[in-house]
Amino acid sequence: MSCDFLSLARPGVQKLSPYVPGKPVEELAREFGLRPQDIVKLASNENPLGPSPAVREAIAAALPELTRYPDGNGFALKQALAAKSGVNTAGITLGNGSNDILELVARAFVGPEHEVVFSDHAFAVYPIVTQAVGAKAVSVPAKDWGHDLDAMAAAITPSTRVVFIANPNNPTGTWIERDALEAFLDRVPENVIVVLDEAYTEYVETDDVPNGVDYLGRYSNLLVSRTFSKAYGLAALRVGYGLSHPAIADALNRVRQPFNVNSLALAAALAALEDEAYLIESRRINRIGMQQLEEGCAALGLSWIPSRGNFLAIDLGREAAPVFQGLLREGVIVRPVANYGMSNYLRVTVGLPAENQRFLDALKQVLARV
């Protein structure tokens, strides 16, 4: 290579570690000579139920229009989201996954002169979008693996432009309660945008986790991001959205690619939103699977971080990497989280009961061996 192109990248980009996704089933099948149908993937917090029949039908119905550009304004989906959330369509931004929303916030509002605050052990995309725009990433030490909102508020300086908060957080599963969130929002200056990432909100069944939408009226600097990738079961299609003051949505829509959400994703998301039964079943499967995983871990003498998401961070009390490798050999893909500063932990997505059992059985075997 004649030129060191990485040296041409922005300094923040040079220092970034690329996002590490969960290992695809096909890749593991190739590496270990396994059959894809014998592999269990509990690595990316996807919905184990597969897409709802209503979604498949909506996609089939949208196929004849593939030669046309999608509706760049997502009119029908925004109408449905507005009806469901109570947020006016002018305050809705559609994204190619909610990751797109996070990136739009950085691109629209943050420059090299700014700081972006988030928590240690928080979602890996926050440092990526921050450093990509040349801003300074300020990662605040966590408290009991969760966001320390007092410390995060204290970390805000006149240079801070955005704060990212995940509630519940991935990969820890930790959550922020109503009083703590309100006290934090009260402390944040109005010119600092708070992104409340609620990727797992549809899985929350307890009333100790606030709904960010309830605060949009009171805090005009708040943006709530949501996704169809998790409980709605549409990770492959890439569709998410932001709910905010219309002025924030206006800025995001100026930098957004005109057709960032494709037409199959728009049709599928609309159908998913109307399929309440699928969501109820997803929550039920998650509830029983979470209990199964917790009981299985307890039986193995392992502890975990209590979670309000569809995944569990399990403390192996030792380096998790060899256990992760051992599980791969058993055809079970979970997620190592050393890149989140959690080298003794594995994050496991709640699957179907048989998948959870496969994982627990394999874990027992591997722990006895390595």
Ligand X SMILES: *Cc1c(COP(=O)(O)O)cnc(C)c1O
Are 194 and 221 contacting, i.e. CB atoms less than 8 angstroms apart? yes
For ligand X, which residue of 227, 253, 260, 349 counts as binding (CB under 6 A)? Answer: 227
Which residue number, 350 or 366, has a Cβ lying nearer to ligand X? 350
> Does residue 170 bind ligand X (CB under 6 A)?
yes
Q: Which stretch binds ligand X (CB under 6 A): 201-209, 225-233, 277-285, 312-320?
A: 225-233
Angle at 98 between CA 66 and CA 259, to 5 degrees: 30
> Does residue 98 bind ligand X (CB under 6 A)?
yes
Are 43 and 22 contacting, i.e. CB atoms less than 8 angstroms apart? yes
Length of the chain: 370
For ligand X, which residue of 97, 146, 233, 296 counts as binding (CB under 6 A)? Answer: 97
> Does residue 235 bind ligand X (CB under 6 A)?
yes
Which positions from 264 to 303 touch ligand X by CB under 6 A, shown as an x/- string?
----------------------------------------
Q: Distance between CA atoms of 87 and 71, rounded to whole angstroms? A: 20
> Does residue 233 bind ligand X (CB under 6 A)?
no
CA nearest neighbour of 144 among 123, 119, 164: 119
- Compute the Cα dihedral for 290, 293, 297, 298 and give only its sign: positive
Give least dist CB 24 to ligand X, A.
15
Q: Distance between CA atoms of 67 and 70, rounded to whole angstroms? A: 9
Give least dist CB 101 to ligand X, A.
8
Which residue number, 255 or 298, has a Cβ lying nearer to ligand X? 255
Three-class SS of 143-172: ECCECCHHHHHHCCCCCEEEEEEECCCCCC
Footprint of ligand X on 17-46 (CB under 6 A): 45
Give least dist CB 235 to ligand X, A.
6
Q: Distance between CA atoms of 190 and 185, rounded to whole angstroms? A: 9
Give least dist CB 210 to ligand X, A.
16
CA nearest neighbour of 356 among 322, 325, 332: 332
Q: Which two tokens stand for residue 284?
A: 């039920």
- Helix ranges (DSSP H) in 221-343: 246-255, 263-274, 276-299, 321-329
# chain residues binding ligand X, by CB under 6 A: 14
> Does residue 119 bind ligand X (CB under 6 A)?
no
> Does residue 199 bind ligand X (CB under 6 A)?
yes
Are 173 and 141 contacting, i.e. CB atoms less than 8 angstroms apart? no
Give least dist CB 240 to ligand X, A.
4
Which residue number, 199 or 366, has a Cβ lying nearer to ligand X? 199
Binding site for ligand X (CB under 6 A): 45, 97-99, 123, 166, 170, 197, 199, 227, 229-230, 235, 240
